[in-house]
Structure 1
Amino acid sequence: MARKRKGRDISGWLVVDKPAGMTSTAVVNKVRWALDAKKAGHAGTLDPDATGVLAIALGEATKTVPYITDALKAYTFTVRLGQATNTDDAEGEVIAESDQRPTDDEIKEALAPFLGDIMQVPPKFSAVKIDGQRAYKLARDGDEDFELAARPLWVEELILVDRPDADHVTLEMTCGKGGYVRSIARDLGAALGCHGHVRELRRIWSGPFEAEDGITIEQIDEMAKTPALDQHLHPLEQGLAELTELKCTPEGAARLRNGNPGMVLASDVEYGDEAWASLDGQAVAVGTYKAGELHPTRVFVQPK
C-alpha cells in the first residue's frame, strides 16, 4: 500500500525569483517545505546559475503546468564573445578562443537567422536523454563522443539591447518551449566567427508570470510556515491564461467533476478547441469543446 504523502492540500502558484547557484529542484523543495504543501512542481527548469522567474505549482495547479511550460518565455542574457566553453556557459572549460570581435551591426545581422522556426542542438551538458542516460552525465564522465539531435524551436524575438564592451553583448529573447539560451550563445558565436558562451542569464517572464511578481528565497525563509506566505499565492486559474474560459452552470459543473461532458455557455470557441470551464470564477475542468459541451481531460478538485 502506497504511503500517503503528508502536507497541506494547498493549490495555486508561487512565483519565485530564483537566485544564481540554486537548482530548480532545490527551489521546489524549499517552497514545498515553507508552505507545508503536499504536492509541488515547477513549470520549466532554469540552469543553476540562471536567475529569474521560476513558477512553482502547488496541489491542483500542477495539472496546469503543461500550459505554462508550452507558453512563450522571455530572457535577457549576456554573451561572452571570443571564448567557447564545453558547457556553453561560464562554468565550463574554455575550449576555443578568438581575438576577432564583431561590430554591433554585424551582431544584429547575425541574429536574423535565429528568428522564427529554427532547429537547435541542445548543449552536451543538458538533461536531454541519450539511450536512457542524461547527456550531462555522459559529458561529466568524459564521454563526450556523442551527438545530440537538433530540435525545433520557435523564436519570436531576439534583439541586441546592450554592448557593455567589445567582449560582451546583452540580448533579449522571446521563445517557445524547449529553448536553450546557451545554444543560442554558442551558435551566435560560431556564426560570427568568434565563439561565444553565456555569461549571465535571467528569465524575465514565463507565460503570465513576471519576475517583478516573484519573491526571493530570503523572503520565503522569513515567511516560512506562516499565513503571510500564503498571501503571495496566485490562483490556480492563472495557469490557464492561454486557454479560453467557458462558463458553466452548477449542473454542468457537477457533470464535469464526475468526468462527464458538461454544458457550457456559448463563446467564440470553435468545435474541437481546448478550453476550460469555470463556475463562479473557479476552474472546474479543462477539456475539448464540442457542440455546447466541454469534454473533460483534466478535472480540478477545489473547495467550493
Structure 2
Amino acid sequence: MRTAESQYLDLVRRVWEGGVERGDRTGTGTRALFGETMKFDLSDGTVPILTTKRVFWKTAVREMIWFLSGDRNIRKLVAQGVHIWTDWPLARFNSETGSGLDRAAFEARILADDDFAGQWGDLGPVYGAQWRHWPQYVEGEDGRFTRDANGIDQIAALVHGLKNNPYSRRHIFTGWNVAELDQMALPPCHMMYQYFVSGNTLSGILYQRSCDLGLGFAFNIFEAALLLRMLAQQCDLLPGEITWMGADCHLYLNHEHLVTEQLSRAPQDFPRLEIVRRPEDMFGYAIEDFVVTGYDPHPAIAAPVAV
C-alpha cells in the first residue's frame, strides 16, 4: 500500500542499494545520495510520524520546545528524561578529563551539580541559541562595538513577518552561523527554514545540509511539521504542506539491521496531531498542549548514534 511514508522508504532503499560509500567525520562510514526532496500534506490534520518503527514523538516535542527557549545546555532536557543530546558533551568530558563516565553517571552529575552542568552540559551556540539570540553588536559612545546580550530573535521576527507582511519572500530563519560553527557541539543539520503564505494557508520548506536517514530524519520531519503547525496557530493560518530538502542524505554502514527490518514493514497512514491550547506566543507551549491520535506503529528499532 502506498502511503505518504512510502516516499521515505523509497529513499532509504535507494540510498542503501545505490548510494555512494563514503568515509565520514565519525569514522563509521556511510552510503549517501545528494539532493533529495519529499513533500508531506498537513492540511488534513495528519503529521509525518514514521509508522514503520516507533518514534518517540513526545521526546521530539520536548526538543522543539527546548530549541524555542533558546537554551544551549542539556540540563533541562536531561531533567525530562531526554537523552538525545547527551552523547556529545559526554564524549567531550571523557576526552578532556580522561574519565570513563557512562551516560547515566554523567547525567546524574549534570542534574546534581550546577557548576558541573554549566561547564560540561553546555553545547555551545547550537540551534536554539541561533534561533533566538543570533549575535548582534552595537556601537557604544566610545566607538567600540560590544555584543548585545539578547541578540536577534529570529523566531519572534518570523512570527511578526507572517502576521504583518504575509506575502514576503523573506520568511526565513537559520542556524548556520559561519562565525560560530566551531563553537558548536554539532553544527546544524536542519539548517534553514522558509515559509510561504497562500491565502490563509501556511506552507514551509526545511533544508538539511546533512540527514541521517536511519535515526535523525524521523525527528527532523516531525519537528518541522510540528513547528509549522505552531506557527500557523499563532498566525491564524491553516497548515498546508511541508517540503523536505536533503543535501547529503545518508545511512550509516552499521545500521544494516535497521534498514533491513524497516524496509520489510508495511507503512500505515500517518496519525493526527491536535494542539489543544493556544498560548500567548510561540514560546509558551508545553508538552501537554500536543495530542497525537491514531498512532499504531511497528516496534522501535535500536541503532547506535554516530558521534
Q: TM-score, normalised by structure 1?
A: 0.25
Q: Which has the higher strand share?
A: 1
Q: Which has the higher helix share?
A: 2
